[in-house]
Structure 1
Amino acid sequence: MPTARTAALAALGTVGVIFGSILGVYPSAVFAVLLVLLALLVLLDRSLAADPRRLTLARSGATTVRLGESTQVTLSVRNPTQRPGELLIRDAWVPSAGASDEPYQLRLPAGATALLPTALTPTRRGDRPAARVTVRSRGPFGLAFRQADHDVPWTLRVLPRFASRKHLPEKLSRLRTVEGATAIRGRGQGSEFDVLREYVPGDDVRSIDWRATARRGDVMLRTWRPERSRRVVCVLDTGRTSAVRVGDEPRLDAAMEAALLLAAVAREAGDQVDLIAADHRVRAVVTATQSRSLLPRLVDAVAPLQPAMVETDFELITSEVLRRERKRSLVVVFTALEPGALGEGLLPVLPKLAARHRVLIAAVHDHALTELAATPLDAPGDVYAAAAGTRALADRERIASALSRNGVTVLDFPADVFASRVTDAYLDLKASGKL
């Protein structure tokens, strides 16, 4: 392809043709000679340019970054040809990767390698792939260049912010208080063996250990402590309702924040944490995790999740939970309090789930509905806005009451305190011995 310098020379040739016509020289002959000379120069310049198709490109650098932070991915370019390359390179990424659009301009000698760093500041969670790398190789005269596209695959996984981790010190402090009180109050009431002690009047005779009694000659009693290792199942609804934006983020992101904080506290409590993300099909599963790798595994599993524009199949979710969780567990379903979604989907199958597990329904409250219901009636259109907000809030209360009648605890809080309140509900259950 010709460059701007070629166009400038052609313009100068046009001026020469004009002067030639003034001097009596045939314009067509002058123009033809100049055009042939310029074409020969362009072809020569192109032939002397390094072939961009023969360049070897590869990537290295970060594969993960947390949303809101910056990282760097390096593009290496090697010139295996025998000619130096005057190169213009554009490393393109998807827009949400936050890469600069400025191209790299460099001279790459024959056999040399250049490292081109690209700073990335993603604006969205999920997998951000690299696009094509476009290379232009200019000739030594600057009259023409050769261009080629290279596919250099690379994917940067953008993890959730997990801003709710700021609540961890407070929640862990409360957890220690709860565990201390439970250990004092709960001895003799749990299912894990604690110690043998002598029987005192008033003890439950069903706890007498007759073998120990025979060995020691005194009536010995088995004492028990509350079971420490329980199961907590976080269910993320990734259906259409999770795409609704509450504040600056989709409802799904707020649910992820709450699930991660709950999982971090439950892990410290010695409980096992499972996660299921689903809509009309299962999107992600993390099971039987109690180790220090819990949070990295959960974060990596939820990072690529995106809302699906389909209705959530709560029958699928219920069957998946019942199939995986044989033991009684705490099941926290992160969804929306919408009659269309829960009334027709969850309520019919909820009794089957609540009969086997303790169920919490956690929903992010949209403050915009409260503001809409409180719209001042200053104009005719305000009446409809206020009525719509009032109707939406009434529907939420109706569906929450229906869920509560099925033995389910409903958590409905604004996004800024949602993660903290969900974890508080978990700690309240532990403190009351209901978990």
Structure 2
Amino acid sequence: MKGVVLTGRAGLAAGIGSVVVAATSGLLHVPGLLCVAAFEAVLGAGIALDLAQCGRPQDLEFDRQGDTTARLGTQVRVSMFIRNTGRKPLTGVLRDAWPPSAGNGVYAPAVPPIGDHSASPEPGRGIGDVPLHTPLEPRHAIDLAPGAAQRIDTVLTPSRRGDRRPDLVTVRSIGPLGLAGRQVSREVPWRVRVLPPFHSRKHLPSRLLQLRETDGRSPVLVRGQGSEFDSLREYVMGDDVRSIDWRATARRNDVVVRTWRPERDRHVVIVLDTSRTSAGRVGDEPKLDSAMDAALLLTAVATRAGDRVDLLAYDDDLRASVTGALPGRTLAVFSDTMATLEPALVELDGAGLTRHLLGRVRRRSLIVMLTSLDTASINEGLLPELRQLTRKHTVILASVADPRIAELASARGSANAVFAAASAELSLSVRRRTADELSRIGVDVVDAVPLDFAPALADRYLALKAQGRL
């Protein structure tokens, strides 16, 4: 897309010229048409000179380099190299357009509506419904001699997960008089994949310490139905007498106990519910994003424990699947897969999900379902199917809870507050009954507020690991 543009200077010259023409024709008694023709001839000659002398934007070559992935909330730098292959120098301005969610912009104070004489807002606040700061897409000055190259850096701070792609790159070349120029817009493709932020990474060191204790790298060793024999050591006060090895005790003439470590190479399947309930917001983010954060922490812990982790995203059909990822690459592959997942406005097909899991997961595994503890969806679509899964697998159902409901349940002081508290308490009791019903059929339930959700799920996995229930 290309064309000819007139600058603000051309408009200013036209305005000043109109005044001069009017004054000249009146004072010197020169015919108005003659003055207009003379002025238009001068202005037209200037515009024609600019168009003849300015560089051709069509002669520019573009090449992008830079970051292709980033965690949500971090900055991304994308560089664009521009080369002038024409025979004329090119001076002008370049705009590298990105969608607003890519975060390409500097910020300037918003202009209040005309006639608004209200007091100045506090820093960080708006005037009425107008935000104090609005993004302004940066323009880059370019000055390229024939054969010369220039680098333009664009710093992005994405505000949403997913793939962010640029719009058109527009170059405007201005002539030496600054009256007119040529403009070209073209596509210069690139893709930045914005990954989930992984806020719960801060809990990883403490959970890995628990894992080392459970896994036998420190003296806290346990025995469970899924444990392997590790070594013998002397009995100390507090050891389980059932761990005493009587044969070794007789040989050594001292009480000796066996130590155990949980089995490695267990199979963990993480299921992300991407149905309509995952679109609900709890706190500052959708339930799906909280589920992703918990899934990433669990994946990091489980892979360090030597277990194999697979990922499914499901609503009324399979949306994403990762199986057999290399242990050192599992977290990166999961993050890349989750980046483009979005909630779908459909109900969760519990029967279809169960058929898929039973047909795909042959050996006994830990199945972690990250979904909503919604009574209607659980009772109607998922509860009958979970009974089939628990016969063959260990199942955890993890759901993020809304902390606002607990706050409302404890509110007092007015009739409205008491009514809201009663409604919130009813909601909590229904949620507890649903969790109890799931527990009765053998499902482990994790129900926690967003701040505690990811570490609570990791703790439940570590507890099952220590008990040998995987």
Instruction: Please give the TM-score of this superposition, normalised by the length of structure 2.
Output: 0.81
Counterpart mapping for 1:159-308 below 5 A: 159-180=195-216, 185=223, 227-289=263-325, 291-308=327-344
Counterpart mapping for 1:314-353 below 5 A: 314-353=350-389
Q: Supply the distance in 1 between the matched residues of 2:200 and 2:313 (Cα, whole angstroms).
A: 20
Summarize deviations over 1:99-135 as a string: whole Å, max 9, x none. 1211001211112111101112222222222121111
Worse overlay, 17-26 or 101-110: 17-26
Shift of 1:182: 8.9
Which of 418, 423, 428 matches 2:453? 418
Do structure 1's residue 406 and structure 2's residue 441 form an aligned pair? yes
Answer whether contact 1:182 1:433 (CA < 8 A) is retained: no
Q: Supply the distance in 2 between the matched residues of 1:403 and 1:62 (Cα, whole angstroms).
A: 45
Residue equivalent to 1:206: none
Q: Supply the distance in 2 between the matched residues of 1:426 and 1:433 (Cα, whole angstroms).
A: 11
Residue equivalent to 1:7: 11
Shift of 1:191: 8.7
Query: Can you give the 5+ residue segments of structure 2 that lack an aligned partner in the other structure?
Result: 106-136, 232-259
Query: Can you give the 5+ residue segments of structure 1 that lack an aligned partner in the other structure?
Result: 196-223
Q: Supply the distance in 2 between the matched residues of 1:395 and 1:134 (Cα, whole angstroms).
A: 57
Which of 45, 52, 56 matches 2:50? 45
SS of 1:289's equivalent in the other structure is coil
Do structure 1's residue 137 and structure 2's residue 173 form an aligned pair? yes
Do structure 1's residue 85 and structure 2's residue 123 form an aligned pair? no
Do structure 1's residue 65 and structure 2's residue 59 form an aligned pair? no
Q: Residues 10 and 290 of structure 1: is their aligned pair in 2 closer, same or farther, counting only changes over 3 Å? A: closer
Q: Supply the distance in 1 between the matched residues of 2:181 and 2:214 (Cα, whole angstroms).
A: 72
Answer whether contact 1:267 1:290 (CA < 8 A) is retained: no
Q: Residues 6 and 257 of structure 1: is their aligned pair in 2 closer, same or farther, counting only changes over 3 Å? A: same
Residue equivalent to 2:132: none
- Between Structure 1 and Structure 2, which shows a larger proportion of helix residues? 1
Which of 347, 355, 367 matches 1:311? 347
Q: Supply the distance in 2 between the matched residues of 1:65 and 1:48 (Cα, whole angstroms).
A: 43
Q: Residues 172 and 165 of structure 1: is their aligned pair in 2 closer, same or farther, counting only changes over 3 Å? A: same
Answer whether contact 1:236 1:255 (CA < 8 A) is retained: yes
Residue equivalent to 1:203: none
Q: Supply the distance in 1 between the matched residues of 2:437 and 2:283 (Cα, whole angstroms).
A: 27
Residue equivalent to 1:433: 468
Q: Residues 194 and 10 of structure 1: is their aligned pair in 2 closer, same or farther, counting only changes over 3 Å? A: closer
Which of 370, 376, 381 matches 2:412? 376
Answer whether contact 2:223 2:468 (CA < 8 A) is retained: no
Aligned length: 406
Residue equivalent to 2:60: 55
Q: CA RMSD in A?
A: 2.4
Q: Supply the distance in 1 between the matched residues of 2:227 and 2:296 (Cα, whole angstroms).
A: 28
SS of 1:15's equivalent in the other structure is helix
Q: Supply the distance in 1 between the matched residues of 2:342 and 2:26 (Cα, whole angstroms).
A: 69
Q: Supply the distance in 2 between the matched residues of 1:260 and 1:326 (Cα, whole angstroms).
A: 24
SS of 1:283's equivalent in the other structure is strand
Answer whether contact 2:365 2:393 (CA < 8 A) is retained: yes
SS of 1:399's equivalent in the other structure is helix
SS of 2:159's equivalent in the other structure is coil
Residue equivalent to 2:21: 17
Counterpart mapping for 1:109-128 below 5 A: 109-128=145-164
Q: Supply the distance in 2 between the matched residues of 1:399 and 1:368 (Cα, whole angstroms).
A: 19
Greater relative contact order: 1 or 2 (C-alpha under 8 angstroms, separation 6 or more)? 2
